[in-house]
């Protein structure tokens, strides 16, 4: 199971480094983050640290990710239609206008 988890984390991290790709790829990234959440407690410490860094980068780059994703989905409609529970990565539409505050944000470290 550990190698599978590592692969998921590695793929997620790779996605985070390319905010300029299509919204469809970003949607896959958010779905991948959901999969990681389901195994997050079993991650090795190094994977948890890498995941936390990637999550912070996603939040800091929320504007860029949101710009591409908003061409592909309406976040509010998508969250409602897919019954997505409150998870910060599914709220880039809310976080994007606040991204400039990340210097002071607890979530961003």
The C-alpha atoms of residue 24 and residue 102 are separated, in whole angstroms, by: 25
What pLDDT shows up at residue 2? 47
| Residue 108: inside a domain | no
| Residue 31: inside a domain | yes
Do 30 and 89 form a contact (C-beta atoms < 8 A)? yes
Q: Considering its fold, how many domains does the chain have in total?
A: 1
pTM, whole model, 2 decimals? 0.83
Residue numbers of the domain that contains 30 = 2-103
| Residue 46: inside a domain | yes
The C-alpha atoms of residue 5 and residue 11 are separated, in whole angstroms, by: 10
Instruction: Collect the ranges in the chain with pLDDT lower than 70.
Output: 1-5, 99-109
| Residue 28: inside a domain | yes
What pLDDT shows up at residue 1? 44
Encoding tokens for residue 9?
Answer: 């984390």
Encoding tokens for residue 42?
Answer: 């079993």
């Amino acid at each position: 199971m550990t190698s599978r988890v590592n692969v998921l984390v590695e793929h997620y991290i790779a996605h985070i480094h390319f905010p300029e790709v299509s919204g469809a790829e970003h949607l896959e990234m958010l779905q991948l983050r959901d999969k990681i959440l389901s195994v997050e407690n079993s991650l090795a410490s190094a994977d948890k640290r890498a995941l936390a860094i990637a999550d912070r980068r996603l939040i800091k780059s929320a504007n860029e990710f949101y710009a591409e994703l908003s061409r592909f989905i309406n976040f509010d409609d998508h969250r409602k239609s897919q019954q997505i529970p409150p998870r910060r990565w599914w709220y880039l539409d809310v976080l994007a206008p606040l991204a400039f505050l990340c210097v002071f944000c607890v979530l961003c470290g």
